[in-house]
Structure 1
Amino acid sequence: MTTYPLSLPAGDPLITLTHPKKSLWIIELHNGQDSRLTHDLINQGLKPALNADQNANKNEGKGALIIVGRRDQDKFFSNGKVFRARAPTFDPLLERLLTVPIPTIAAINGHCFAGGFMLSMACDYRVMTDGSKRRAWLSMNEVHFGAPWPASFASLVRSKFGSDPLKRKIALEGQRFTPQEALEAGIVDYIVAGDTAAVLTRAEELADQWSVYAQGGVWGSIKAEIYRDVLETIHKDVRPRNPLHEDAAAKARL
């Protein structure tokens, strides 16, 4: 039986999982001030936490999960990162989030970049600070520094957004969306005036509203059908060909 709060990994916690209500779990990212995503945070923090909350909810009916950036600041949800061998680390996390059988909500309490953006996109709902207290942006900024996307990232963007101009802004231009712009584009569902606590409060309201639909187990099975193309891409592990990267990989094997 899981004991809460659960801090992972045990020796050097990078996330904390709490269970404030019978039907609610909250994962707080706290790797430094910017909640930067690393292999350890994902493999030893987020993945075990997702397993813990699912095991706990197995026979309890309704439930919901919130992911939030570090609670003692209002600047970052996550600053992204995880470059080295990103797909093998990130893809199983995306698959897990896309098939979690309870509603998932990203409480975006500050800047949300790159991998952090993808983490939020894999959730069912996104609530973001409105930036009135402290400015906040969302951006897939890999194009700015020449980092290629895993095929899963492109597939998720295609699945979530139907507008080609919006996909271009996200992927090819690396636009920094303000909270209002993100709301108008449909990237986030709600923006909230106030600090991290206010963002969490709105996220918890959504959790209460939709957690009942997790009863019966259909929430996860329907999501698996909605995101079938993304999941198939993840399983194929298709990656875009890049001669420079392939050459570097070949030299590394010599």
Structure 2
Amino acid sequence: MCTLEKHGDIFYLTLTGDGEHRLNPDLITTLGAALADVKSRAARGSVLITKAEGNFFSNGFDLKYAKAAGSPEAAADRLHQMVDMFRPIVADLISLPMPTIAAVTGHAAAAGLMLAMSHDYVTMRSDKGVLYMSELDIGLPLPDYFTALIGSKVTSLAARRALVLKASKLKAAEALGLGLIDSAHANAEETVKAAVQIAETLSKRRWEGKNYAVIRKSLLPEACTVLKVTETPVRPSRL
């Protein structure tokens, strides 16, 4: 599942255990509750780091859970349920009133990659793990908010092709070259350490969180439109 800890100004949201951190209804619900807790305790200087234990950051939606429903129709219903449940998680992350950093300490595939990309910054380990949009390989369409998030975040046509139309399994060096991540690091420990360094630097700026969220959303108009995330004007606190 996941845990939430706070040390100083930094929140640490950790996907726990050595599994694949597949996004099933239980994990999605737990993530939503954790993000609500983070938002309720947000203050000037707050920063969120999301990381994971084991060799996976998240391997996407829990297709085994979907198939366990029995018939193809029932399996499709379960998959659609997970797609609908995950939508508010992405909306919450791009609305969170603080900087956010994903420390990709293992494979991030499909919805798991969208979880990482919903953050402002992404650090990634080089020794293990890939970024992988698997939908083309497994014969599934992209949900509309996946497409919108990729369109808002991935500005390079070459990067979009590699990620979506080639279904490439991108290692950290390739992902860095395509601008999909902010930095690559030797192992999981160094990846988290780099995320903490970013968080500590940003925390010192003591920005007003609501204004940070408004400005972030203004940079992601396509994703905000599809996710129905609206901007709330913020009165200047100082001139």
TM-score past 0.5 threshold? yes
Select the residue among 23, 36, 55 that pairs with 1:51: 36
Q: 1:34 to 1:28 in 2, by over 3 A?
A: same
Distance 2:225 2:82 in 1: 18
Alignment partner, residue 120 of structure 1 = 116
Shift of residue 226 of structure 1?
A: 1.2
Paired residue type of 1:36: R
Does structure 1 residue 142 correspond to structure 2 residue 135? Answer: yes
Q: Deviations over 1:7-30 (max 9, x none)?
A: xxxxxxx11001122x10001112
Alignment partner, residue 227 of structure 1 = 220
Counterparts in 2 of 1:188-207, with a 5 A limit?
188-194=181-187, 196-207=188-199
Q: Is residue 79–residue 116 contact of structure 1 (8 Å, CA) maintained in 2?
A: yes
Does structure 1 residue 96 correspond to structure 2 residue 92? Answer: yes
Alignment partner, residue 29 of structure 1 = 15
Stretch deviating more after TM superposition (86-95 or 76-85): 76-85
Distance 2:130 2:111 in 1: 14
Distance 2:168 2:217 in 1: 29
Alignment partner, residue 60 of structure 2 = 80
Paired residue type of 1:77: F
Counterparts in 2 of 1:153-232, with a 5 A limit?
153-194=146-187, 196-213=188-205, 215-217=207-209, 218-232=211-225
Does structure 1 residue 65 correspond to structure 2 residue 48? Answer: yes
SS at match of 1:188: coil
Q: 1:213 to 1:91 in 2, by over 3 A?
A: farther
TM-score by structure 2 length?
Answer: 0.84
Shift of residue 210 of structure 1?
A: 1.2
Shift of residue 197 of structure 1?
A: 2.4
Paired residue type of 1:61: R
Distance 1:214 1:37 in 2: 33
Distance 2:226 2:17 in 1: 29
Paired residue type of 1:17: L
Shift of residue 85 of structure 1?
A: 2.6
Shift of residue 213 of structure 1?
A: 4.2
Distance 2:17 2:190 in 1: 22
Distance 2:130 2:93 in 1: 23
Q: 1:52 to 1:212 in 2, by over 3 A?
A: same
TM-score by structure 1 length?
Answer: 0.79
Alignment partner, residue 6 of structure 1 = none
Give the superposed CA RMSD.
1.6
SS at match of 2:228: helix
Distance 2:221 2:126 in 1: 32
Shift of residue 110 of structure 1?
A: 1.0
Shift of residue 231 of structure 1?
A: 1.4
Paired residue type of 1:29: L
Distance 1:160 1:89 in 2: 21
Structure 1: segments with no counterpart, 5+ residues: 1-13, 237-254
Q: Percent identity?
A: 29
Distance 1:19 1:88 in 2: 29
Distance 2:59 2:206 in 1: 30
SS at match of 1:107: strand
Distance 2:154 2:13 in 1: 26
How many residue pairs align between the two structures?
212
Distance 1:49 1:211 in 2: 20
Distance 1:96 1:153 in 2: 14
Alignment partner, residue 247 of structure 1 = none
Does structure 1 residue 106 correspond to structure 2 residue 102? Answer: yes
Q: Is residue 61–residue 110 contact of structure 2 (8 Å, CA) maintained in 1?
A: yes
Distance 1:145 1:168 in 2: 17
